[in-house]
A and B are shown apart, each in its own frame.
Chain A
Amino acid sequence: MATSARTETTPQHVGRPVLQAVGICHRYGDRVILQDVSLVVEPGERVALTGENGAGKSTLMSICARLLTPDAGTLRIEGRVGYCPQIPGLHELLTADEHLALFSPALGLTRDEGVRRGRQLLSEFGFPVGERSQVRHLSGGSQQKLNLALALLGGARLLLLDEPYQGFDHGSYMNFWDHVARWSEQGIAVVVVTHMLQDLDLVDRVVELGARA
């Protein structure tokens, strides 16, 4: 649950959830993936989304990011969404800086500003900043850190992170959860898809999606 400290940092959101997904239904062909699923997230709230394989966690995240239209249900989002998908889908022949530059104008940042901010985020995650390697030459963990930094670059009010720490070493993993706590204190709501039981103590609420019918 959101604390009073959090609501102070985001007075415009008092009583207004950043995410309201109500009665979401989705199917792929004949397969029902989501049936009347609701997810409401308050500013600064940390939510873990769990469930078996095929329960529809990633589908729900795509719907909440408005990248997938649900078959039924309503979706209401306050402010900018930062979305970190399970599969990064980065351009293999571009460098990290080039990715940051590409995202910058869309987020209202100048190229230099975007790269500077992005590098700062990356350095916080222990990414080898300044390295001119193309993405294809980066390790899986480093690619994932870039994936995460791109989601954070625009100053989102809601972060949708789909298993964001795949490939992270233990230090980076712990560092990630420290950041989640910090974002939460800043009033940023965080929804994390996870399979790891130890993560569940680090969030305010756990939402479990049922197994597919």
Chain B
Amino acid sequence: MRRHWLMHILLPAEMAARELVRRGTALGLLTVLPLAFYFSSRSNSSYAPVLGGIAMAFSVSGASIFCALTSRRLDSRLVLAGYRPRELLLGRLLLLEALGFMVALVFAGVIELGSNPASPLELIGGVFLVTACAVPFGLAVGALVPNELESVLILIGVVGVELTLQTSNIVDRFMPWWGAQRLLEQAGDGRGDTVVPILICVAYAVGLFGLAVLAVNRRYATVR
């Protein structure tokens, strides 16, 4: 029974992984985009890791949105066959988080070598939090918004606003990557609270995934 339940999560994850691996260019861009943001802003050394982190939010969320939208048509048949919508979603979450963490690891290594931050732990925590929140954000947008264009515009809007807001601005605290951004900023001088940013970011990730589950459950309510 347990194996059966696991297969319902692992097989969709495996197939999503096979698809992603066959998109070599997309995988390359997923890694190159944050690095390009980071290197282009390295002269402003204190802010470069934050910009790179935000670019990582762009690329990982973009991949998640794409994964959610391209699967939608077949998902309805998979649910009709017997999958639960949350199983399909959970499989993709696991796969994309694993992929995102690999990108985060590469990115953290490059920043560590390039910027030599005072607190490497906060740097690693920051980039991992970016990914932790980016995947559920992409899955939620992909589940709630009907088309690719609208989804991508929402992604650009949210990440763009987050990028332009000053951290002192109260609105910034309500943005998905505020916690991750704080950690990346604090990595430079090693000062500041870490618990609250982590908690807020994790809460955001859990909330966004819950929203995605609600959206797909609602879509397939008649099938189930």
Measuring CB to CB, which residues of chain A are less than 8 angstroms from any residue of chain B?
Answer: 65-69, 81, 83, 85, 87, 89-91, 93-94, 98, 101-108, 111, 134, 150, 153-154
Structural contact, A94 and B18, CB atoms closer than 8 A: yes
With A66-B222, A94-B19 as contacts: A107 and B81 at CB distance below 8 Å:
yes
Structural contact, B11 and A93, CB atoms closer than 8 A: no
Which 10 A-B pairs have CB atoms at the shortest separation, nearest pair first?
Answer: A89-B73, A106-B82, A106-B81, A105-B7, A93-B22, A106-B83, A93-B19, A66-B222, A66-B223, A69-B222
B residues near A106, Cβ cutoff 8 Å: 8, 78, 81-83
With A68-B222, A69-B222, A98-B18 as contacts: A89 and B81 at CB distance below 8 Å:
no
Main secondary structure of the interface of B (DSSP, over half): helix
Structural contact, B223 and A91, CB atoms closer than 8 A: no
Mask for B71-115, Cβ within 8 A of A = 1, else 0?
Answer: 101101110111100000000000000000000000000000000
In this assembly, does B121 line the interface, its C-beta being within 8 Å of a C-beta of chain A? no
In this assembly, does B2 line the interface, its C-beta being within 8 Å of a C-beta of chain A? no
Interchain CA distance A91-B16 in the complex, whole Å: 9
Interchain CA distance A102-B223 in the complex, whole Å: 18
CB distance from A206 to the nearest CB of B (A): 26
Contacts beyond the supplied A85-B73, A90-B74, A154-B81: 5 A-B pairs with Cβ under 8 Å: A91-B70, A93-B22, A103-B78, A107-B81, A111-B11
Q: Return the contact of B74 from the options A89, A134, A153 (Cβ within 8 A).
A: A89
Which of A93, A102, A104 is packed against the most chain B CB atoms within 10 Å? A102
Contact sample, A vs B, 13 pairs, CB 8 Å cutoff: A67-B222, A67-B223, A83-B77, A94-B15, A94-B18, A101-B15, A102-B12, A105-B4, A105-B7, A105-B8, A105-B82, A106-B8, A108-B82
Q: Return the contact of A91 from the options B7, B71, B220, B221 (Cβ within 8 A).
A: B71
Interchain CA distance A198-B220 in the complex, whole Å: 36
B residues near A81, Cβ cutoff 8 Å: 80
A residues near B4, Cβ cutoff 8 Å: 105
B residues near A154, Cβ cutoff 8 Å: 81-82
With A66-B80, A81-B80, A107-B81 as contacts: A102 and B15 at CB distance below 8 Å:
yes
Interchain CA distance A15-B223 in the complex, whole Å: 25
A residues near B11, Cβ cutoff 8 Å: 101-102, 104-105, 111
CB distance from A8 to the nearest CB of B (A): 29
Kindly report which residue of chain B lies nearest to residue A81, judged by CB atoms. B80
